[in-house]
Amino acid sequence: MQRTAIVTSLLVILCLCSPASWGTSTEAAPPLPVEYLRLPPGQATLAPEEALSSSDWQPLPGTTPNFGYETDTFWYRIDLPPGDSRQILEIAYPHLDDIRFWLVTDGEPGEAEHTGDRLPFSERPLTHPNFLFPVIRQPGTEQQILLRVQTGGAHHVPLQLLAPRELFLKLSREDQLHSLYYGTLVTITLFSLLVFISLREKIYLYYLATTASFLLLLAALRGITYPVLWPASPLLQNYSILIAIPLALISIVLFSRTFLRLKQVGGWIYRAVQIALYANLLALTGVVVLDYNLSIWFSVSVGLATCLLLALCGPILWLRGHSHPASTPWPGAR
């Protein structure tokens, strides 16, 4: 049984460490010519005509808008490059709160499309975890894309403009690879449940909680939980991420503490892991007492520190000459 647990642990680590780029197209679309206009919260109600006529537009540094945990309102203006008569703009980050889209023709904004993860999933122009906006060109005119984005989490707006067939082929490849990814975690989770029911050992319960919570976290981060579990509840979608981050880390701390027998080791390592456990419990409590931006920032900060600590525990114990925890049978294992 020890060998089985070790093998399944390695499978989980392999899945969690797989690069997100597995699902991306091998031929990346050329970067779009993006300009941005940043407004403080007091000017968030600027009309699209006023935004277009502003003299404060700046060229975007880099190729992808990424301004960290900023709650200011950002406008983006994109001159449409030559391309097919029908295209789709993809924003490949499903956690933006409020997005407004206009197709501007000869300086005149068209009808606004309003979406974001604060609105029901059914209100999206195209039903997909990422934000997709149809772009229909009109020959003989000058056209631009105008976006207004405001969010309480990470302000990350990866933009890509593709022909419908090209985009859906890319999304299909991503979905196929991610289905294998999620299927592996579901299999490991169900196997862990059977082992726990059979042996009734706490370590298997912690292992079950770890794989299940990481499955929830990964699905929430990619936006899969929204259309599958609660498409009519933006509140649940937003809180699912806030809860999944500390929940996954609490589970892996409990599993690591038991698997490595840190209570028997004692010393600063055990105390540091205990502090990490309490900090993640505090982050979980912060979901209901802190605002979204501060809660997600605190959870991510504590999570990064926890992952670094756990990554160091094994090598430090090995260098100290501690025997591998699996070398001694766990209670109930035969």
CATH 2.60.40.2380 domain extents, the chain:
31-162
CB 164 within 8 A of CB 87: yes
- Distance, in Å, from the CA atom of 302 to the CA atom of 286, rounded to the nearest integer, reads 12
From the candidate CATH numbers 3.20.10.10, 1.50.10.20, 3.30.420.280, 2.60.40.2380, the one assigned to the domain spanning 31-162: 2.60.40.2380
Mean pLDDT of the region 104-130: 94
* Residue carrying structure tokens 């299909």: 172
CB-based contacts of 21, cutoff 8 Å, min separation 6: none
Output the pLDDT for position 334.
42
Entry pTM: 0.84
pLDDT tens profile 134-143: 999 988 899 9
Q: What percent of the chain has pLDDT over 90?
A: 68
Output the pLDDT for position 39.
86
- Answer yes or no: is pLDDT of 17 > 80: no
Q: Which amino acid is at 51?
A: A
